[in-house]
Each structure stands twice: as C-alpha cells, then as structure tokens.
Amino acid sequence: MINNKLPLIIFLILLVTACNNADNKHDGNKKEETKSQVDSLMDDVMEGHDEGMAKYSKLTAMRKEVQRVIDSLSKLPAKAKEASAPYKTKLDSAAKDLNIAISSMDKWMEEFNMDSAVDNIELRIQYLKNEKMKVGNVKETILNSLQKADSLLKSKF
C-alpha cells in the first residue's frame, strides 16, 4: 500500500518544491529589478554631481575674473564709469549668479546622504529620484551662470 502511494508522495514533494522555487525566482527578480533601479538612480545622481564638480573650479575662477573686471570699472574716470554702468550692472548680476551656483553645489553636497534609507528600498528610490532632480538643477545653475559670465566677459561693453 505504501508502494502505491510513494509515487504520489514524491510527485507532491516535487510539485511543492517547484512552486516554491518559482515563487523565490519571481521575488528574486523583483528584488534585482528594484536594486537595479536604485543603482541606476545612484549612478544618475553621481553623474550630475561629477559634472557639476568638474565645473566647480571654473566657477571660482570665473567669479574672480568677473570681480576683477568690476573692480577695474570702478577705477575708471567718472564719464567712463557712467558709460560702463549698464555693463557693470550685468557683471554684478553674473557675479551673483556665480555665487548662487557655488552655494547651491556646496549646499547640495552638504545635505546629500549617500546612505539614506538603505533599509527601505521604496524610500531610497524616492530619495534618489528627488536628489537626481536637485543635482540636475544645481548642474543647470552652474552651466547657465558660467555661460552668462563668459558671454559678458567676451563682449566687454
């Protein structure tokens, strides 16, 4: 009698084992996809950071150059100073934009938490999405301020 039920018992064991393996595979794939999404977002955030930081020294050099030109304009005779006032106003605006770009990058780096929500994948994904957007805005601020200052310095008045 046991011999008659043995194939049925073996079949049931194999069936349960196969179903469990299929469920584990499905859960594993979902975990891998989620981990891959986290890795991809982190790569995007770091890429934005790296692009911004690559321009950081240029920001500080450009700020010095803009300030040098502003200082030179302030030493001009009264009539020339008056004629250069619109140009100086644009340079002042460019200097302000460069300072904002530097401050924005510094602030983002200070506030970014590389290990935020490592124990909660969903929160981590949301955090990294937000940081990707923030660092993208910082990068755009840097690039725009550099372009504006460079254009002004090349144009003179």
> Is residue 148 situated within a structural domain?
yes
For the residues of 35-78, what is the DSSP string, one character each? HHHHHHHHHHHHHHHHHHHHTHHHHHHHHHHHHHHHHHHHTS-H
Domains identified in the chain, total number? 1
Domain that holds residue 109: 35-155
Whether 83 maps to a domain, the answer reads: yes
Answer yes or no: is 69 within a domain: yes
Per-residue model confidence (pLDDT) at position 51? 94
pLDDT of residue 155: 86
Average pLDDT in the chain: 86
Classify residue 39: in a domain, yes or no.
Answer: yes
With respect to residue 14, please indicate whether it lies within any of the assigned structural domains: no
Q: For residue 119, is pLDDT > 70? A: yes
Q: Is residue 91 part of a domain?
A: yes
- Each residue's pLDDT tens digit, 38-61: 999 999 999 999 999 999 999 999
Whole-model pTM over 0.85: no
Indicate whether 17 belongs to any domain: no
How far CA 107 is from CA of 1, 30, 100, 111, 112, in Å, comes to 77, 35, 10, 6, 9
pLDDT value of position 9: 63
Specify if 96 maps to a domain.
yes
Q: Are 148 and 61 contacting, i.e. CB atoms less than 8 angstroms apart?
A: no
| 126 has a pLDDT exceeding 90 | yes
